[in-house]
Amino acid sequence: MKVMILAAGFGERMRPLTEHTPKPLLQVGGQPLIAYHIEALAALGLDDLVINVAHLGQQIIDWCGDGRRWGVRIRYSREPEPLETAGGIQRALPLLGEAPFLVVNGDVWTEYPLQRLLTHTHLPADAAHLVLVDNPPQHPLGDFQLTAAGRVVARPPEAAGLTYAGIGVFSPGFFVGMAPGKRPLRPLLDAAIAGKRVSGEHFVGAWADVGTPERLQTLDARLSAASGGTG
């Protein structure tokens, strides 16, 4: 299974940190966020990676290189400007092939066992499988609800659901028919959920959306303490 790591965003809420450093290269626990993903993928033998880059993207290319030091191959999908999630994935489709592929947001940290997603290599041609987590304080109502049968459904207004973790498996056909350019993922997900084409699972372990300097600092302190470092 090929993997796409989303790393092209501006990181607006992380300013001023992201004025000179792209968010996936911000350090927690002594190494860049993106390194945790690459190490976890390499450990599973998922060695064909695509990273999209835009804002300060050359820094990511220079730091990750061709992936050889992790025993993986990294290719890059360059964007003239950040195309948001769906636009970025669509632009990278020629590098991702014709089989379902794993997508990971470059600005999350998690202990989710990615090997669970290897069972979703035969998704229908226009389907997706999402990892959902408990709602963080900054997103108290969440994004979607999950049925007992593992189907992702819409969250009714004012009803709590679960939060999309930024980790999932998508079939290339999920993006067929989408106009190229800057496109968010949520409208595509909403349409696919209405069409009963999205499955999901609930992960209750460690996960963090590193969206602000405060959250970055909190995660850094936690990981540094766990490793016996000083941060």
pLDDT, tens digit, 9 for 90 and up, residues 143-160: 999 999 999 999 998 899
Which range, of 14-23, 36-45, 98-107, averages the lowest pLDDT?
Answer: 14-23
Q: What is the pTM of this model?
A: 0.93
pLDDT digits (tens, 9 = 90+) for 3-13: 999 999 876 77
The closest alpha carbon to 129, from 95, 160, 164, 96, belongs to 164
3-state secondary structure of 71: coil
Residues 87/15, Cβ–Cβ less than 8 Å: no
Q: Is 48 helix (H, G, I), strand (E, B) or coil?
A: strand
Can you tell me the distance from the alpha carbon of 13 to that of 59, in angstroms, rounded to the nearest whole number?
Answer: 19
Q: How far apart are CA 114 and CA 223, in angstroms?
A: 20
